[in-house]
Structure 1
Amino acid sequence: MDTLKHYLPLCWFTLNPLELIRSVSFFKNNLIFYFIVEFFLQANMTDDPIESFYEVSFETLLTLLFIWVMLGLNRSLYGFIQVTAAVVFCSNVVSFFIIPVLVWLTISENTISYYLVGILLAWDYALTTYIFKRVLVLNIPASAVVSLIYAGFTYFGAYTLGQLVQ
């Protein structure tokens, strides 16, 4: 719980991920929670649990691979646990808010629910941009491009690999 309190201010753009506590157990728990939440969201969209399992597995592996390569190229691989935990934790926090909005969207298809999903996805993108900006010491446009590449690599890559397996 103490580690959670250290990571939570990151969601308000106030911390440097490399200065966070290095906790392997927190990292593992976040990764498991991330997998479960993403599986729930994916299964809700595709109606095929096997396909969802493949895509979420690939998405998780591609997330880990992207961050590992990015940090390796930046010669800051020592921060892999903190940075990956930060990215996954922020995604989990946003997902915590997205799930009820998606349920509301599915039930009512209210226009406001679409706007809320868009705002929450923009928040998730902004958090990833902020984390990459602080870790790689980039300006905002460059970190936004890295975040866009990250999103394309993980989500489009997972979808593509999932289709190849099926």
Structure 2
Amino acid sequence: MNLLIKYLSLCWFKNNPADLFPSKSFMWKTVVFYLISGIIVEGLIADPADGSLEVSLRAIMALSSIALLLLIIKKRHYFSQLFTAIFICENFIMTLAIGAEALDFVMVMNHNEYREIISISLAVLLVSWYIAIVSYIFRQLLEFKMSTSIISAFSYFILTYGIPMLFMDI
């Protein structure tokens, strides 16, 4: 539990993922939670079968993107730390997204006239926060400059969300 709290602190831009050493069990539990929470969110938005496939593709893209980045910059020994840090923070954001989806459902049922504005605002906030967190993790763990970490985080977001989404549209 202590390790989880330390990883969650990354969501508030505290701690350094280089100082955190996850066990294999902790890493795989993170992946399982990622898959389950992603399937819930995608199931609320679209067809559960398509959502499950898209979440699986995102997980594959995330793992391969992280591995490729670390191979290119010759820091593959950081894989478990980087992978776990990103996935824990993404799981936190995904949990908030589930709450946002539930709020959207309630607003639809209550015919709230500001539902669309609120939902889009929450989505933009969560995506921006996610990119900021991943940027922070890159900057802390890989010692990237600010501009490089932001570009890398945005690229990572496009790779892990954009490509699977495009694949699902085909």
Q: TM (normalized to structure 1)?
A: 0.89
Give the aligned partner of residue 13 of structure 1: 13
1:94-153 Cα deviation digits (max 9, x unpaired): 222221122112331263443233222211111011111222211212111111111111
34-43 or 129-138, which deviates more: 129-138
Q: Is the 8 A contact 2:139 2:145 kept in 1?
A: yes
The code of the aligned residue for 1:74 comes to: I
Instruction: State the alpha-carbon separation in 2 of the partners of residues 152 and 40 from structure 1.
Output: 21
Instruction: State the alpha-carbon separation in 1 of the partners of residues 125 and 17 from structure 2.
Output: 23
Which segments of 5 or more consecutive residues in structure 2 lack a partner in the other structure?
108-114
Instruction: State the alpha-carbon separation in 2 of the partners of residues 51 and 117 from structure 1.
Output: 21
2:30 is aligned with 1:30: yes
Instruction: State the alpha-carbon separation in 2 of the partners of residues 148 and 123 from structure 1.
Output: 11
Instruction: State the alpha-carbon separation in 2 of the partners of residues 159 and 101 from structure 1.
Output: 20
Give the aligned partner of residue 127 of structure 1: 133
Instruction: State the alpha-carbon separation in 2 of the partners of residues 75 and 135 from structure 1.
Output: 13
Report how many aligned residue pairs link the two structures: 163
CA RMSD of aligned residues (A): 1.6
Instruction: State the alpha-carbon separation in 1 of the partners of residues 151 and 105 from structure 2.
Output: 31
Q: Is the 8 A contact 1:101 1:116 kept in 2?
A: yes
Q: Is the 8 A contact 2:41 2:97 kept in 1?
A: no
Instruction: State the alpha-carbon separation in 1 of the partners of residues 123 and 163 from structure 2.
Output: 22
Q: Secondary structure at the match of 2:22?
A: coil
154-163 or 129-138, which deviates more: 154-163
Aligned with 1:153 (options 142, 159, 165): 159
Instruction: State the alpha-carbon separation in 2 of the partners of residues 158 and 119 from structure 1.
Output: 21
Instruction: State the alpha-carbon separation in 1 of the partners of residues 122 and 55 from structure 2.
Output: 23
